[in-house]
Amino acid sequence: MTGLLPYGRQSVTDDDIAAVVAALRSDWLTTGPEVAAFEAELSGWAGGAGVATVTSGTAALHVAYAAAGVGPGDEVVVPPMTFVATASSAVALGARVVFADVEEETFTLDPAALAAAVTDRTRVVAAVDYAGHPADYDALRTALAGSDALLLADAAHSIGAAYRGRPVGSLADLTSFSFFPTKNLTTAEGGAVATGDPQLLDRARRFRNIGLVRDRDQQRWPDEGGWHQEVHSFGLNYRLADVLCALGRSQLRRLGDFLARRAELVARYDEALADLPGVLAPGRRDWASPAWHLYPIRVLDGRRREVYDRMRAAGIGVQVNYLPAHWHPAFADLGYRRGSCPVAETFYAQQLSLPLYPGLRDADQERVIDALVAALRGLAVRPAA
């Protein structure tokens, strides 16, 4: 019997391995020339925004919130249809999270829900590009009219996507990326913050480097020598290693190919599921060029768990993305309750991610589709021999 067909998987080639080996054999393992080169190349995909690489997508969110000045007494608006880190990293800085519901079809932050959630204490609004589909950034800007809040794009799913012809990375005041193995490119673990604001970029880079200040023009005490460095505000060590940036640079050369293959697989799924009763394919808007990190179907009539179990038993690694963030016990302990975001909660009850990654073969995708059809018909699904 074949093993479990995963819902997502990295694509690593001999070129990637050679890039890592070359970095290991160099004089730099941590902050060296590969970091600066990777940041510059990422900037090209982010519309020219400045980039600070960090150790994970969660670190990118933490750094972005810190750069925005989030702290006790501030509010951060977050949609619940996201990995919990979008919310928990704001809580870690002392902020109060306000959950605002998502739109039907794309399940990204609803501008009307955002407008109702914004107060004079709102410091940041985090829009999540769910499944790789950009949020409606122009509408979100309109909803924020009159507010001093910064707009953050949580683009963990959407590097390489575009909104109305503009690249993700250039759409918000701050953008966070993730390079986890299942994402559209990987550095094993890693992430980045992008911004067109030089002050925000400086604060992001300082926070990811423990808050250290080495520039003599910015130091507050007399320079004592070449070793002199100061901390003016506290930060953390979120520096991404040179060796991992070497992997990222190699992966980035194939990002266009990765996105094209994902789009091809999505089109094949769309065609196969178009007339299949009991499921809905993911929606998209005509102004979006999604990056398609996930292929999230909706299983209707309360059958999501049944279909999940049947497909898993057949060796198809379907997944659910995600438990609504405000449903986690840590948020329940803070007083958040179910029922506050009905669109997101209804979607969660139906959502199922089908396998999607560049290395997914056409024959494997046919196996996924056949297993889904059988599961919906209530038939036993045999694992592939």
Give the CATH number of the domain where residue 117 resides: 3.40.640.10
Where among 251, 275, 298 does a domain terminate? 251
**At 311, is the secondary structure helix, strand, or coil?**
helix
Residues 280 and 148 in one domain: no
Please indicate, yes or no, if residue 163 is contained in any of the structural domains: yes
Residues 82 and 160 in one domain: yes
Tell me phi and psi for residue 373, to 5 degrees.
-60, -45
Give the total number of structural domains in the chain. Answer: 2
Where among 211, 233, 251 does a domain terminate? 251
Which of 311, 333, 294 lies closest to 379 in space, CA to CA? 311
Which of 207, 183, 281 lies closest to 59 in space, CA to CA? 207
Residues 191 and 277 in one domain: no
Residues 214 and 172 in one domain: yes
Q: What is d(CA 174, CA 89) in angstroms, rounded to the nearest whole number?
A: 15
Residues 247 and 124 in one domain: yes
Could you identify the residue written with the tokens 């953008």?
Answer: 175
Residues 211 and 277 in one domain: no
Please indicate, yes or no, if residue 223 is contained in any of the structural domains: yes
User: Are 57 and 191 within 8 A, CB to CB?
Assistant: yes
Q: Domain range holding 168?
A: 14-251
Q: What is d(CA 152, CA 324) in angstroms, rounded to the nearest whole number?
A: 19
Residues 236 and 281 in one domain: no
Which of 310, 302, 289, 326 lies closest to 368 in space, CA to CA? 310
Q: Which residues contact 262 (CB under 8 A, 6 or more apart)?
A: 132, 184, 291, 292, 293, 356, 357, 358
Please indicate, yes or no, if residue 5 is contained in any of the structural domains: no
Residues 232 and 262 in one domain: no
Residues 235 and 276 in one domain: no
Return the bridge partners of 298, or none: 280, 351
Where among 200, 231, 251 does a domain terminate? 251
Return the bridge partners of 98, or none: 77
Which of 236, 173, 175, 177 lies closest to 207 in space, CA to CA? 236
Residues 21 and 122 in one domain: yes
Please indicate, yes or no, if residue 149 is contained in any of the structural domains: yes
Please indicate, yes or no, if residue 143 is contained in any of the structural domains: yes
Stretches where the chain sits below pLDDT 50 are: 1
Residues 185 and 259 in one domain: no
What is the H or E stretch that residue 203 is in?
A: helix 198-207
Please indicate, yes or no, if residue 359 is contained in any of the structural domains: yes
What is the reported pTM?
0.95
Tell me phi and psi for residue 287, to 5 degrees.
-90, 0
pLDDT at 11: 96
Q: Which residues contact 102 (CB under 8 A, 6 or more apart)?
A: 79, 80, 81, 108, 109, 110, 113, 130, 341, 343, 344, 347
User: What one-letter code names the amino acid at 324?
Assistant: P
Please indicate, yes or no, if residue 19 is contained in any of the structural domains: yes
**β 122-128/191-195 pair status:** unpaired
Could you identify the residue written with the tokens 């599921």?
Answer: 273
Return the bridge partners of 154, or none: 128, 176
Alpha-carbon distance values, 162 to 151, 155, 267, 268, 290 (Å): 17, 11, 18, 21, 7
**HSE-CB of 225 using CA atoms within 13 angstroms:** 1
- Concatenate the DSSP letters of all residues of 78-112 into one string: E-SSS-THHHHHHHTTTPEEEE--B-TTT-SBPHH
Please indicate, yes or no, if residue 385 is contained in any of the structural domains: no
Q: What is d(CA 194, CA 42) in angstroms, rounded to the nearest whole number?
A: 9
In terms of phi and psi (left: phi > 0; alpha: psi -120 to 50; beta: otherwise), the region of 257 is: alpha
**β 75-78/122-128 pair status:** parallel
Which of 242, 144, 137 lies closest to 187 in space, CA to CA? 242
Q: What is d(CA 38, CA 45) in angstroms, rounded to the nearest whole number?
A: 11
Q: What is the CATH number of the domain that holds 294?
A: 3.90.1150.10
Residues 29 and 49 in one domain: yes
